[in-house]
Amino acid sequence: MKSVRVNYLVREITNKIPLRVFVRAFSDEEICPNLIRGVDYVRYPSLNKGLAFTMEERQVLGIQGLLAGSVQTQEEQLAICKYAVDRYKNPLNKHLYMAELLDTNEKLFYELMASDVEKYLPLVYTPTVGLVCQRFGLVYRRPRGLFVTIHDKGKIQRILRNWPESKVRAIVFTDGERILGLGDLGAYGMGIPVGKLCLYTALAGVPPSQCLPITLDVGTNNQMLLEDPMYIGIRQKRARGAEYDDFIEEFLVACTKQYSQTVLLQFEDFALANATRLLDKYKNCFCTFNDDIQGTASVMVAGMLAACRITKKKLQDNVYLFLGAGSAGVGIANLLCDAMVEEGTSKEEAVKKIYLFDVDGLLSTRRQGGVSTVGGSFTPEILQQMAKNAERPQIYALSNPTVKAECTAQQAYDHTEGRCVYASGSPFPPVKYGGKIYCTGQGNNSYVFPGIAMGAIACHARHVPDSIFLAAAKTLAECVTQKDLDVGRIYPHLNEVRYTDICS
The CATH number given to whatever domain includes residue 177 is 3.40.50.10380
DSSP state of 294: I
Query: Which of the following is catalytic: 49, 196, 353, 404?
Result: 196
Q: Does the annotation list 221 as a binding residue?
A: no
Q: Consecutive sets of 10 residues in the chain, 504 residues long: mean pLDDT of each? A: 43 44 36 73 95 96 96 97 97 97 96 95 93 93 93 98 96 97 95 97 95 99 96 98 98 98 98 94 98 96 97 95 84 96 95 85 54 75 95 92 89 96 91 92 93 96 96 96 95 85 65
Residue 110 bears catalytic tag: no
Cα separations (Å) of 236 from 152, 227, 229, 292, 369? 15, 10, 14, 26, 24
Domain interval for residue 18: 2-61
Burial, 115: exposed, middle or buried (Cβ in 10 Å; 0-12, 13-18, 19+)? middle
* Contact yes or no for 146/163 (Cβ under 8 A): yes
CATH number of the structural domain spanning residue 391? 3.40.50.720
Residue 150 lies in a domain: yes
Examine the domain organization and report whether 13 and 97 are in the same domain. no
Question: From the centroid of its chain, how far is CA 356?
Answer: 26
Compute how many other C-beta atoms are within 10 angstroms of the C-beta atom of residue 232: 16
* Contact yes or no for 261/271 (Cβ under 8 A): no
Q: Which of 43, 61, 79 is the last residue of a domain?
A: 61
Examine the domain organization and report whether 327 and 203 are in the same domain. no
Examine the domain organization and report whether 97 and 174 are in the same domain. yes
Dihedral angle sign, alpha carbons of residues 415, 417, 422, 425? positive
Examine the domain organization and report whether 345 and 250 are in the same domain. no
Examine the domain organization and report whether 261 and 331 are in the same domain. no
In this structure, the strands spanning 170-174 and 441-442 are unpaired
Q: Which of 235, 270, 305 is the last residue of a domain?
A: 270
Residue 142 lies in a domain: yes
DSSP state of 171: E
| d(C-alpha 387, C-alpha 413), whole Å | 10
Query: Which of the following is catalytic: 41, 110, 120, 125?
Result: 125
Residue 382 lies in a domain: yes
Using alpha carbons only, how large is the chain's radius of gyration in Å? 24
Nearby residues of 238 by Cβ (< 8 Å), 6 or more positions away:
177, 184, 218, 219, 220, 221, 244
Examine the domain organization and report whether 479 and 331 are in the same domain. yes
* Contact yes or no for 279/377 (Cβ under 8 A): no
Residue 406 lies in a domain: yes
Instruction: Quote the pLDDT of residue 365.
Output: 45
Residue 223 lies in a domain: yes
Instruction: Quote the pLDDT of residue 226.
Output: 98
Residue 407 lies in a domain: yes
* Contact yes or no for 255/263 (Cβ under 8 A): yes
Examine the domain organization and report whether 346 and 412 are in the same domain. yes
Instruction: Quote the pLDDT of residue 21.
Output: 36
Examine the domain organization and report whether 159 and 306 are in the same domain. no
Residue 369 lies in a domain: yes
Q: Which of 270, 304, 329 is the last residue of a domain?
A: 270
Q: Does the annotation list 178 as a binding residue?
A: yes
Examine the domain organization and report whether 124 and 266 are in the same domain. yes
Q: Does the annotation list 292 as a binding residue?
A: yes
Examine the domain organization and report whether 8 and 139 are in the same domain. no
Examine the domain organization and report whether 25 and 130 are in the same domain. no
Q: Does the annotation list 245 as a binding residue?
A: no
Q: Does the annotation list 93 as a binding residue?
A: no
When divided into structural domains, the chain yields a total of 3
Residue 126 lies in a domain: yes
Residue 125 bears catalytic tag: yes
Examine the domain organization and report whether 224 and 371 are in the same domain. no
